[in-house]
Amino acid sequence: MNAYSPDAGLANLYAAARREIAKVIVGQDALIEQVLVSLFAGGHVLIEGVPGTAKTLLVRVIARLFACEFKRVQFTPDLMPSDVTGTNVFDPRDQSFHFRHGPIFSQLLLGDEINRAPPKTQAALLEAMQERQVTVDGTSYRLPAVFTVFATQNPVEQEGTYRLPEAQLDRFMMKVLAEYPAEAEETEILRVHQRGIRVEDLDRFGLVAVGGEKELLAAQEEIRERTIRDEVLGYISRLVRSTRENAKVEVGASPRAGLMVLTAAKARAALRGRAHVLPDDVKGIVKPVLRHRLILKPGAEVDGFTPDDVLDEILARTEIPR
């Protein structure tokens, strides 16, 4: 059963997905919205949070709702690149090599605890995330039309983690944060568990699929058609350029980062049923889109500043178009 009518528009698809997710996950409103913005815009998303904050569960629920081929890779220190991309295997029957596809050949891929694998393995995702293809032994293989990587990571301060290379981070449209729930939300989580319902058993929640490949491709097209005024384009440009001029920043956001802000802002507007982008749409997504693209100066980090602090400062100083 499909709960979504393609004629209803992206706003209704979003609302249907939110209703289904709420059956399983309590709270986490900002996290859920940002992940869905990235999914509908065709972007990859990095979810950071301590263990136990529903990062993996959210991705599993989304995969169930969008009836797409879904695979999960648990990143560990001994994971090899070929474990992700696949490898050529020799067949003694015909004395030839055949390519055995890895889990990356799916529509929705969950890279769980991606920063527990060394950079060499993380780099196996670079080509796939940017060019939607995988090259093994000189031969390129196309990935599905819908291909989204959801990666979870633990805070880099935790033991046994590696920092993601800047080139890898830049492939993610957003880095979103899974925060601890509020007190009332945490009480409700305990109440659900007390009733004997295990969140790992998604079949018990009566989830209804809201779409699939067709709906996700239509969502991307609808987002591309959203209009944006020149003054809002200028606002995006000023925000991005200000990251390069800030005294606390060693490396600011690139022009490609500005394109990501533009696409995500259009997606946010579309989810709200608007045909045009408002400055509030830009403000609502600028931190998840830019926070992982800024490298602060060592002195700023020693003083306790974070990329979000810098972005708050830039947002406060940048004139908002009327």
The DSSP code sequence of 222-245 is: HHHT-B--HHHHHHHHHHHHHHHH
Whether the per-residue pLDDT at 4 is higher than 60: the answer is no
Kindly compute the dihedral angle of the four CA atoms of residues 257, 31, 145, 15, in this order, to the nearest 10 degrees: -120
Given this chain, do its domains 6-220 and 226-317 carry the same CATH topology? no
- Are the C-beta atoms of residues 33 and 175 closer than 8 Å to each other? no
Give CATH for domain 226-317: 1.10.8.80
- 237 vs 22: CA distance, rounded Å: 36
- 320 vs 258: CA distance, rounded Å: 16
What is the SS3 assignment for 109? strand
Give CATH for domain 6-220: 3.40.50.300
Look at 137 and 290; give whichever has higher pLDDT.
290
- 271 vs 269: CA distance, rounded Å: 5
pLDDT at 94: 81
Beta-carbon count within 10 A of 282 CB: 27
DSSP state of 179: P
pLDDT at 282: 95
- 68 vs 74: CA distance, rounded Å: 19
pLDDT in tens, 145-164: 999 999 988 776 566 677 78
pLDDT band at 41 (very low <50, low <70, confident <90, very high): very high
Where are the chain's structural domains?
6-220, 226-317
pLDDT at 198: 66
Please measure the distance between the N-terminal and C-terminal CA atoms of the chain and give it in whole angstroms: 44
